Amino acid sequence: MKFSVLTIVSHAPHPVTGELRSAADRLADVVELGTEAERLGFDAFAVGERHAGAFLSSSPTVLLGALAARTSRIRLLTGVTVVAILDPVRVAEDYATLDQLSRGRVELVIGKGAEAGHFSLFGLDESLQWEYQAEKYELLRRLWREEHVDWDGRFRPPLKGVTTVPRPYAGPPPVWHGSATSLNSPELAARHGDPLFTANAIQPREAYARLIRHYREKFEEYGHDPADAHVAAGSGGLYIADTTERAIAEYGPLYEARVRQNFKPHLAGRAGYNTPFRTIRDAVEDGPQLIGSPQQVIDKILGYREAYGHDLQSVSVDGFGLGLAAQREQLQRFAEEVAPVVRREAPTTLWAAP
């Protein structure tokens, strides 16, 4: 299995103390965390994209550009690129530039996003979100694969003979499809033979397993080799301690305070927005969070591997109030005590050397 670190650069007051770090310090922490992830041997570092709510990730290309300058090996992912609200021409230009700067280390994870407010912010009709996503992704694919593109669609002015520059570093960067609640993203991924990135964040395990099964079935129906149907899985917060009870005692107040802070009453009952795992014990026993002893975390990842057959596991350490030193410690414990066991028990061909 491969491993990625994800940040969506949350910028809410500390769930217990109420302290709010400056935006400059918070963004600097992200760059430091990315360089630490490379040092520790993680395979990828991902920056989300949010345009609503308490986040500082509205410009992931800028943050990933800073990381491209500070790193040399680690893959640079998005998580997700909200292609449904963006101009595909701009996406093609920005990420091809980043791909050149990083010498071919860029991979996109695209999706319609997890914040309901961004469609109105960009003057778009949320009811058309899946139509936006499908059409804009089709154009992005063509812009990265063809020159002198002619295009006439529903959601942007026509193009005539357009070649975006720069071109990608060594062919089109891989594009994953973020999947959380709908069959639309698994369907789009399967149609194009692209990999799938399941959110595995808020709903029970079976909800995500259903989407992955659909993806694998359609992937083969569309004529692609099933061996190429790569899947990634997200997770909630990561917290490793010597024992699970110690992890619960240390992390529980942070986790439960952040759950209360993040609750969105106007989205209650809408899948994918409010976690049902409201206590720390719920999270440890049934949630996607990787909390507990090293063996507890290993067992949970391998349990998800059994359900999902995934190749890439994403972890997050900066969303629940841990300081940068504690975030570094958690990544180090994961890299030293968890990752080697899971890599051995769950081999994958993803990102294998040619």
Please choose, from the candidates 324, 329, 263, 252, the residue with its C-alpha nearest in 3D space to the C-alpha of residue 289: 252
**Helix (H) / strand (E) containing 179:** strand 175-179
Whole-number Å distance between alpha carbons of 193 and 223 = 9
Phi, psi of 161 (to 5 degrees): 65, 40
Q: Hey, how many other C-beta atoms are within 10 angstroms of the C-beta on 130? A: 16
- Taking a C-beta distance cutoff of 8 angstroms, is the pair 114, 53 a contact? no
- Taking a C-beta distance cutoff of 8 angstroms, is the pair 12, 57 a contact? no
- Taking a C-beta distance cutoff of 8 angstroms, is the pair 29, 18 a contact? no
Tokens of 299: 């067992």
Q: How far is CA 123 from CA 83, 156, 209, 276, in A?
A: 14, 13, 34, 31
- Taking a C-beta distance cutoff of 8 angstroms, is the pair 71, 30 a contact? no
Burial class for 150, CB neighbours closer than 10 Å (0-12, 13-18, 19+): exposed
Quote the pTM value.
Answer: 0.96
Q: What is the pLDDT along the chain (354 residues), one digit of tens a residue?
A: 999 999 999 999 999 999 999 999 999 999 999 999 999 999 999 999 999 889 999 999 999 999 999 999 999 999 999 999 999 999 999 999 999 999 999 999 999 887 767 999 999 999 999 999 999 999 999 999 999 999 999 999 999 999 999 999 999 999 999 999 999 999 999 999 999 999 998 889 999 999 999 999 999 999 999 999 999 999 989 999 999 999 999 999 999 999 999 888 877 877 777 788 999 999 999 999 999 999 999 999 999 999 999 999 999 999 999 999 999 999 999 999 999 999 999 999 999 976
All structural domains of the chain with their residue ranges? 2-345
Is domain 2-345 annotated with CATH 3.20.20.30?
A: yes
- Taking a C-beta distance cutoff of 8 angstroms, is the pair 322, 253 a contact? no
